[in-house]
């Protein structure tokens, strides 16, 4: 069970960036995920998930290590796009 990082080596040491990339790619292959995956996509998906499920944007800012809230607010644009695609049952004719 990781204590500080999502992926930890022996004695809670960190993996190199390249090792994390390989772990994620191998995990995606095992899960039969055909879309491209990367640590950045995992991070982005996590932030978007939190925001869409009501997590305060300031907590997300802290979790992602952003200095400026404006950087984190990029995710609000992504979730707004997703919301625009939702069709209300009242809109059907």
Asked, for residue 44, whether it belongs to a domain, the answer is: yes
44/8: higher pLDDT: 44
**How many domains would you assign to the chain?**
2
HEC-encoded secondary structure of the chain = CCCCCCCECHHHCECCHHHHHHHHHHHHHHCCCCCCCCHHHHHHHHHHHHHHCCCCHHHHHHHHCCCCHHHHCHHHHHHHHHHHCCCCHHHCC
Is 42 in the same domain as 76?
Answer: yes
Asked, for residue 28, whether it belongs to a domain, the answer is: yes
* Average pLDDT of the residues in 11-33: 88
Q: What is the pTM of this model?
A: 0.65
Asked if residue 49 has pLDDT above 70, the reply is yes
Asked if residue 15 has pLDDT above 70, the reply is yes
User: Could you tell me the residue range of the domain that residue 79 belongs to?
Assistant: 38-85
Asked, for residue 42, whether it belongs to a domain, the answer is: yes
């Amino acid at each position: 069970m990781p204590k500080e990082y999502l992926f930890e080596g022996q004695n809670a040491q960190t993996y190199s960036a390249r090792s994390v990339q390989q772990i994620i790619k191998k995990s995606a292959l095992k899960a039969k995920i055909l879309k491209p995956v990367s640590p950045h996509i995992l991070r982005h998906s996590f932030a978007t998930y939190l925001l869409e499920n009501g997590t305060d944007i300031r907590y997300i800012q802290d979790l992602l290590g952003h200095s400026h809230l404006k950087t984190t607010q990029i995710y609000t644009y992504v979730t707004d796009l997703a919301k625009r695609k939702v069709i209300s049952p009242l809109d059907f004719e």
